[in-house]
Homo-oligomer: A and B are copies of this chain.
Amino acid sequence: MKWSTYFIPTLKEAPAGAEAASHQLLLRAGLVHMLTSGVYSYLPLGLRVLAKIKHIIREEMGAAGAHELLMPAIHPLEIWQQTGRDKTLEDVMIRFKNKKGTAMCLGPTHEEIITDLVKSFVQSYRQLPVTLYQIQTKFRDETRPRFGVVRACEFIMKDAYSFDTDDAGLKKSYAAMYEAYTRIFARCGLKPIIAEADSGAMGGKISHEFLVPAPIGEDKVKDENGVEHASIEVGHIFQLGTRYTQAMSALYLDETGKQQPIVMGCYGIGVSRLLAAIIEVCHDPKGICWPAGVAPFMVEVLPVQAGDPETMAVAGGVYDGLTKQGIDVLMDDRDESAGRKFNDADLIGIPYRVTIGRRGLQEGKVEIKDRASGVVESVPVDMAVGHLLRLLIPAR
């Protein structure tokens, strides 16, 4: 991708009101744009990171045997009345009446909807177990949206739901999701602390939270020395049991022909919130340092003098060489000052930067910088692509 024809509107200063480091960097690096309090657009660079996160989630959920579907955002309120959660979640639920006068709402979560769906297809123990998930937009009427995409009114979640014949089955499905979650977060560059937690409005007995320590966190978390840390909840898994299936009569026939309630678990990841959690953990005073697994591009090619034909020829060669190998490369071909381009490169945080300047070229060399460590290597022009490919091997 060439920066000059792309859309990365970086800002020198964070707009007023952005307190959290991640919120400031999301805005400054041109990743998101606020439409109104708690409601954001994801700009091309931010959307690329979201796509990488979604890809990791899909791979790991698939490997754990879960199948993806997509449920709607608008629901008849009646379905929520079946479990009484129209009341429990009243405070955050966005409601409206449609033209026919039917009471409707926007889904703040989907336990009732998936239970209704599974109920209409599953009759027998032979159809169980099954784990279904979606990556979908949720809506909550937050009184006080905060920290950018951390507590927003519209946000992206991965929500999975397991359906088993009994508690032993639920524990197995739960363990598979628990393992998948640790792999997903590790691939996103995070090592969350896993804590047993209160099940809150979800119901059920056992639940675990996945918490990323960060100064803006609204949850507290158990370190080995008993010190409390503020942390962001990036995932939460619940053994729901039969709370929803009994209330909604989602029953199956067991091997003896007797009707039993299906045993359920639910598993959430805050996808858009992960953007912020990753930045909270992976940044320095100059900007973001994307972990390789979720970086919007792996390499930034930075020709210092965009007007110099030799510089641009070498930059084009490195760009083409990497692109042909399937590497996501961004080239900052803008006719801007070197200072502006260096600052923007540090700000948007692509893992490797190749700087091509007239001074280096006089010695036949380009400079390769590791954004996170700051380590700089000077490499002969014709070895630059090969050297980068070797650096990138662990990340691919």
Contacts and interface: CB of A to CB of B under 8 A. Distances in A.
Interface of A: 5-7, 9, 33, 35-36, 39-44, 47, 50, 65, 67-76, 79, 94-96, 98-100, 102, 106, 113, 116-117, 120-121, 130, 132, 137, 139, 141, 143, 153-154
Contacts of A106: 106
A170 B220 CA distance: 53
A76 B35 CA distance: 8
22 contacts: A5-B130, A7-B69, A9-B121, A33-B117, A33-B120, A33-B121, A35-B75, A35-B79, A36-B75, A36-B76, A36-B102, A39-B72, A39-B75, A41-B69, A41-B70, A44-B68, A44-B69, A44-B132, A73-B154, A74-B153, A95-B96, A98-B153
A212 to B, nearest CB: 23
Most buried by B among A67, A75, A141: A67
Given A69-B42, A96-B94, A139 B9 contact: no
Contact of A72 (B6, B40, B44, B99): B40
Q: Interface on chain A toward B: helix, strand, loop, or mixed SS? A: mixed
Contacts of A117: 33, 35, 41
A76 B65 CA distance: 40
Most buried by B among A41, A47, A75, A132: A41
Contacts of A67: 6-7, 44
Given A47-B69, A68-B44, A72-B35, A7 B132 contact: yes
Contacts of A43: 69
A376 B137 CA distance: 44
Q: Which 7 A-B pairs have the closest CB atoms?
A: A9-B121, A42-B70, A96-B96, A44-B67, A41-B71, A39-B72, A36-B76
Contacts of A121: 7, 9, 33
A96 B41 CA distance: 20
Contact of A141 (B39, B70, B99): B99
A162 to B, nearest CB: 12
Given A76-B36, A120-B33, A137-B137, A68 B95 contact: no
Given A72-B40, A74-B153, A153-B74, A5 B65 contact: yes
A165 B116 CA distance: 51
B35 A71 contact: yes
